[in-house]
Amino acid sequence: MLHEYVASPGLNASRSAKGQGSHVYFLQYCFIVSNLDIMLPMSGPSMPANAKLALRAQINKAFTPSAPINNSDLFAGRNRQIDRVLQAIFQRGQHAIIFGERGVGKTSLANIIYDLLVLSGKHEIQVAKYTCGASAEFAGIWRSIFKQITITRQDEEQLTLDAMLPDSVGSEDIRETFQSADSPTIIVIDEVDRIAATETAILLADTVKTLSDNSVNATLVLVGVADSVDQLISEHQSIERALIQIHMPRMSQDELGQIVDKGLASTQITISDQLKSRIARLSQGLPSCTHLLARHAALAAVDRDSYEITEGDLSRAIREAVMNQQQTIINAYEKATHSPRENLYKQVLLSSALAQTNELGYFAAVDVRPAMQQVTGKEYDIPAFSQHLNDFCEDSRGPILQKKGERRRFRFRFINPLMQQFVVLKGLADGMISEEQISGAGSSENSPHSEQS
């Protein structure tokens, strides 16, 4: 019961400084935290059952491997990207597109914009959010967005901006509607890459253009995977100047370490710097992996009636993370690697997961070679495993990787970074590779990818 309550969604998708959502959230939060504090003993040889329950609830609230961050207290790092989002917000005529691999933290960054604005004293700005699905169409997107923005008429009556939209909606109607708003607004449109209709993408690009040209006091923050920038700009070359392009690389080890610190801060559980670095290294720049390992390790400590995470807890966390993986990932792994005969599929897949990549997650066959040596202890030439890489791109064993480029210069990427994360943890849990070998297999020491904006 307590667990369910604590795990309830934090902030609403859209929040307005004028709305009630943040107050409700804040009161809920105070209630939970004050009650948990009463229940937690500061020290003691073994934990009472209710304290354990409370601690588990806090751990589950702090570490959310499958949900974006909604609370700036738990948000780690990303200072450079935050600066650039604020730059777009405070410069009239500028808008932003946040892009990067799946799972690197794009939605989390967009979610904390409101908190950042409140912290910088900008209480009057309203924020609205829309997450696109494949069927998203232009008018529907904007009706839903304008429903979240309120204006106060001269007679003090409040209404939402969607009331101002005509039946058939074009980009100029969006501009005019914004011009009737009485406070600055920020509109976050997430998963723009899922918009299937070209017409909607063109109208969205037109909207960026007209809002920018007319210096409207509204900022669009578009969020999508890496290819969305090209997709959007190809619809309208001239919006390039109006859009600040914010690349989200994978997180550095320092940032991943901060995730562990921030999450544990509310739980009284401690971890040594050495174990924290191990979690960061194993995560390969993917914050969801850090959440997953830190959560299981902290829960393992609580199971032992301890407030301190040990090596044994981390080993258990790795096994738990593999065992509790989504069935779709486990099935895809089995499909990719099964064979009645002795073969190299498992080793090639693990080496691919460990290969050094560029900032968009792509690697070449040559990048797989050093990892193959770490995994198998033998030297392999590229032809010995290039067919395996190709097979992972086909239906027969996947597709688990995507391929681009030309023959001899192919680049590969895990379609789902969660699969990459699983392959590495499974390799560890099955004893195919050690943590020390992982550090030497492909990725560089601090940041797995060069920072690029």
Ligand X SMILES: Nc1ncnc2c1ncn2[C@@H]1O[C@H](COP(=O)(O)OP(=O)(O)OP(=O)(O)O)[C@@H](O)[C@H]1O
For ligand X, the binding residues (CB under 6 A) are 64-65, 67-69, 74-78, 102-108, 259, 287-288, 291
> Given the complex with Mg ion, which of 255 and 313 has the nearer CB atom?
255
Cβ of residue 295: shortest distance to Mg ion, in angstroms? Answer: 19
C-alpha to C-alpha distance for 301 and 297, rounded to whole angstroms: 6
Among 351, 346, 326, 344, smallest CA distance to 335 is for 346
Structure tokens at 161: 């901006």
Fill in the amino acid letter for 422: F
Residue pointed to by tokens 């998708």:
13
C-alpha to C-alpha distance for 106 and 208, rounded to whole angstroms: 20
Q: Which of residues 30-59 bind Mg ion (CB under 5 A)?
A: none
* Interface with Mg ion: number of residues (CB under 5 A): 1
Structure tokens at 419: 């699969």
Cβ of residue 110: shortest distance to Mg ion, in angstroms? Answer: 8
- Residue closest to Mg ion when measured from CB atoms: 107
Positions of E strands within 47-194: 95-100, 126-131, 150-152, 158-160, 185-190
Task: Name the binder of 183 from Mg ion, ligand X, none, CB < 5-8 A by kind.
Answer: none
- Residue closest to ligand X when measured from CB atoms: 105
CA atoms within 13 A on the CB side of 275: 19
* Residues in contact with 112: Cβ distance below 8 Å, sequence separation at least 6, in sequence order: 69, 70, 71, 72, 75
CA dist 234 → 137, 290, 334 (Å): 19, 36, 39
Task: Name the binder of 259 from ligand X, Mg ion, none, CB < 5-8 A by kind.
Answer: ligand X
> Given the complex with ligand X, which of 177 and 290 has the nearer CB atom?
290
Task: Name the binder of 104 from ligand X, Mg ion, none, CB < 5-8 A by kind.
Answer: ligand X
Q: Which phi and psi angles does 141 have, rounded to 5°?
A: -60, -50
Cβ of residue 413: shortest distance to ligand X, in angstroms? Answer: 13
Rg, the chain, Cα only: 24
Among 344, 318, 328, 326, smallest CA distance to 424 is for 318
Task: Name the binder of 428 from ligand X, Mg ion, none, CB < 5-8 A by kind.
Answer: none
> Given the complex with ligand X, which of 178 and 422 has the nearer CB atom?
422
22-30, 88-96, 107-115, 412-420 -> range binding Mg ion (CB under 5 A): 107-115
C-alpha to C-alpha distance for 386 and 364, rounded to whole angstroms: 10
Cβ of residue 90: shortest distance to Mg ion, in angstroms? Answer: 24
Cβ of residue 76: shortest distance to ligand X, in angstroms? Answer: 4
> Given the complex with ligand X, which of 184 and 448 has the nearer CB atom?
448
Q: Which of residues 327-386 bind Mg ion (CB under 5 A)?
A: none
> Given the complex with ligand X, which of 105 and 442 has the nearer CB atom?
105
Task: Name the binder of 319 from Mg ion, ligand X, none, CB < 5-8 A by kind.
Answer: none
CA dist 371 → 129, 237, 375 (Å): 42, 41, 6
Among 344, 330, 263, 249, smallest CA distance to 296 is for 263
Among 317, 315, 352, smallest CA distance to 333 is for 352
C-alpha to C-alpha distance for 166 and 161, rounded to whole angstroms: 11
Structure tokens at 311: 């090596």
How do the residues of the chain divide into helix, strand and coil, expressed in percent and rounded to 5?
A: 55, 10, 35
228 makes contact with Mg ion (CB under 5 A): no
> Given the complex with Mg ion, which of 191 and 391 has the nearer CB atom?
191
Cβ of residue 112: shortest distance to ligand X, in angstroms? Answer: 8
C-alpha to C-alpha distance for 401 and 414, rounded to whole angstroms: 4
Cβ of residue 425: shortest distance to ligand X, in angstroms? Answer: 15
C-alpha to C-alpha distance for 269 and 59, rounded to whole angstroms: 9
Q: Which of 58, 107, 177, 219 binds Mg ion (CB under 5 A)?
A: 107
Cβ of residue 79: shortest distance to Mg ion, in angstroms? Answer: 20
Task: Name the binder of 102 from ligand X, Mg ion, none, CB < 5-8 A by kind.
Answer: ligand X
Cβ of residue 71: shortest distance to Mg ion, in angstroms? Answer: 16
> Given the complex with Mg ion, which of 107 and 267 has the nearer CB atom?
107
C-alpha to C-alpha distance for 453 and 444, rounded to whole angstroms: 19
Cβ of residue 370: shortest distance to ligand X, in angstroms? Answer: 28
26-34, 75-83, 105-113, 231-239 -> range binding Mg ion (CB under 5 A): 105-113
> Given the complex with ligand X, which of 369 and 449 has the nearer CB atom?
449
Cβ of residue 190: shortest distance to Mg ion, in angstroms? Answer: 6
> Given the complex with ligand X, which of 68 and 184 has the nearer CB atom?
68
DSSP three-state, residue 190: strand
Task: Name the binder of 361 from ligand X, Mg ion, none, CB < 5-8 A by kind.
Answer: none
> Given the complex with ligand X, which of 67 and 159 has the nearer CB atom?
67
Interacting residue ranges for Mg ion, rule: CB under 5 A: 107
